[in-house]
Amino acid sequence: FISPSVSNASILQRIKEAYLFWTSILDHMSKNPRYGIGNRIENKLLDLLEFAYFTYFITDRDKKISGVNKCILILDTIKFLVHTSWEGKFISHKQYEEIGLKLKEVGRMFGGWLKSLENPEKKNLTQTK
C-alpha cells in the first residue's frame, strides 16, 4: 500500500505519531475547545503530514526547500495553537509537555532537512577535529 521509501521516512513517522497523540488528547477535551482549537490543531497536523509527504517526493531542490519552509511555518502555527490550548487550560501540563516534545523533535528534523538541502556539499562530510 505505502511505498517502502515513505515507510522509511522518519519525519513522516514522527508527524503521524504527533497526530495520533493529539487525537488521544482531543478525546478528553471539553466540547467547546475540542470543536474549536482542538479540531484546528488536528487539521493543521493533517495539513503538515500531507504537505511533508508531498515535499518528500519533490525532485526540484528549490521547490523542496520552499516546501520544507512551508512545513516549518505550519509546524510553528501548530506549536502556537497548542501553547494557546495549554494557556486556556484545555489540555493538562503533562499533555502539553508530551505533545511539545514530539513537535520539537519534528522541528529539529525539519531544520536538519532544510540545512542538508541548503548545503548539499556538506551532506556527506564528517567533522574532524
pLDDT at residue 56, rounded to an integer: 94
Contact 57, 109 (CB under 8 A): no
pLDDT at residue 9, rounded to an integer: 74
pTM value is: 0.86
pLDDT at residue 125, rounded to an integer: 52
pLDDT at residue 122, rounded to an integer: 66
C-alpha angle 23-29-34 in degrees, rounded to nearest 5: 75
The phi and psi torsions of 52 (rounded to 5 degrees) equal: -65, -40
Stated as kind and residue range, the H or E segment containing 77 is helix 61-87
**pLDDT bucket at 119, cuts 50 / 70 / 90:** confident
Mind listing the pLDDT tens digit for each residue in 15-37? 999 999 999 999 999 999 999 99
**For residue 128, is pLDDT > 60?**
no
Mind listing the pLDDT tens digit for each residue in 60-103? 999 999 999 999 999 999 999 999 999 999 999 999 999 999 99
Give me 17's grid cell.
505519531
Hey, is 47 helix, strand or coil?
helix
pLDDT at residue 2, rounded to an integer: 54
